[in-house]
Amino acid sequence: RIYVLRIGHRPVRDHRVTTHVGLVARAFGADGLFLEEKVEDSVVQTIRKVCYTWGGDFKVEKLKDPINFVREWKNKGIVVHLTMYGLNIADESMLNLIKSSERDILVVVGGEKVPRILYDLADYNIAIGNQPHSEVAALAIFLDRFFDGRELLRNFPGARVRIIPSSRGKKIQRVM
Ligand code: SAM
């Protein structure tokens, strides 16, 4: 299973970005999202509401001590930290190592500033290209490469609505 941890949330300013990290994590195949305690409850509620409507089994949880959580995660799984300073994902040998791991994966994305200790705790510091961009984009590309695009075809069980893809307009079907 693969989970995402977002650290470095700035209350109010990052409301939308952190929500988007959650929506991207879910839509691109992750099993859940861990957030810092200071993240607004409305962020958690928005993501949960999307899960309720659009289905899937995606969990959202706040953590009291994210760094300690990462430390403990390493007892049962691996930690992939997405950072522009890391090894470029375009070098597929790193990605293949991660893909071949049979342990749970925690993908950590940062915000404005990432604590130094994370670079050391991470089993892999991976860059989605070595240019600065965004945690939302980095997460999307990482998950898409991790799943080789298969996540885009995934079914979300328990959905109340689903889209009927169409070349024009919006077609939505109520499922339950
Ligand atoms: N200056 C910050 C730092 O300490 O690394 C980066 C800030 S950036 C706006 C926020 C987050 O986006 C980073 O913590 C990282 O997770 C992600 N990110 C941005 N560019 C990235 C890249 N090229 N590769 C991987 N992750 C990236």
Strands 172-174 and 161-163: antiparallel
Report whether 130 belongs to an annotated binding site: yes
- The pLDDT of residue 23 is 98
> With a cut of 70, which residues of the chain have pLDDT below it?
none
Q: What is the pLDDT of residues 99-118, one digit of tens each?
A: 999 999 999 999 988 999 99
With 0-12 CB in 10 A as exposed, 13-18 as middle and 19+ as buried, what is 65?
exposed
* Cβ(111) – ligand 1 distance below 6 Å: yes
In angstroms, the CA 77 to CA 106 distance is 7
At 113 the pLDDT is 86
Q: What is the distance of C-alpha 24 from the center of its chain?
A: 6
Residue count of the chain: 176
State the pLDDT at residue 140: 98
User: To test ligand 1's pocket by mutation, which of 82, 117, 119, 136 has the most ligand atoms within 8 angstroms of CB?
Assistant: 82
Q: What's the CATH number where 36 sits?
A: 3.40.1280.10
Beta carbon of 109 within 6 Å of any ligand 1 atom: yes
Q: What is the ipTM of this complex?
A: 0.95
Q: Which domain holds residue 144?
A: 2-174
Q: Helices 15-27 and 135-146 sit at what angle, rounded to 10 degrees?
A: 10
Ligand 1 midpoint to CA 149 (Å): 22
- Regarding the beta carbon of 141 and ligand 1, being less than 6 Å apart is answered no
The count of structural domains within the chain is: 1
Are the beta carbons of 134 and 8 closer than 8 angstroms? no
